[in-house]
Amino acid sequence: MKLSRKLAFVIAVSAVSSSALAETTVAPASDSLLRLQYAQQVQTNQLLQTLIAQNPSSAVTLTEAQKKTACVYENKYYSGGALLVVGTSTIRCGRDGDYPAWKDLNDGKILSSESK
């Protein structure tokens, strides 16, 4: 009886340890897949930027409703949550009541509810 318990214990431990080893071999594969997806996304973004530079009319234009909720910086529209570094300040597009506004993340002050 004791021998069968020991044998069952050894089998159980080996099964657990082999499954742990199997999990560690899967992680690098998923990391490489994520790296590949990231590289493909970067390449796609670069191609889209090239296409838009060649034909600016192909760029997506904002509707009037989207423009009302977007922050403007140097005549470019940014959606809520967008971060920009301007000089030594980091600003984020957010809302000040019903209006879009840039908020300085360094001191928390609302910079402007108007466009910059």
The range of the structural domain enclosing residue 54 comes to 2-58
Do 85 and 107 have their domain in common?
yes
- Give dist(CA 51, CA 104) in Å, integer: 33
For CA atoms 37, 40, 46, 47, the dihedral sign is negative
Q: Each residue's pLDDT tens digit in the chain (116 positions)?
A: 455 555 455 455 455 444 444 444 455 667 888 888 888 988 988 888 888 788 877 667 778 888 888 988 888 888 888 999 888 888 999 888 888 889 888 776 777 655 44
Q: Which residue among 23, 40, 58 closes a domain?
A: 58
Number of domains the chain contains: 2
Domain stops at, among 21, 39, 58 = 58
pTM for the model stands at: 0.45
**Judgement on whether residues 52 and 90 belong to the same structural domain of the protein:** no
Residues present in the chain in total? 116
Could you give the CA distance from residue 91 to residue 83 in angstroms, rounded to a whole number? 6
**In a shared domain, residues 42 and 17:** yes
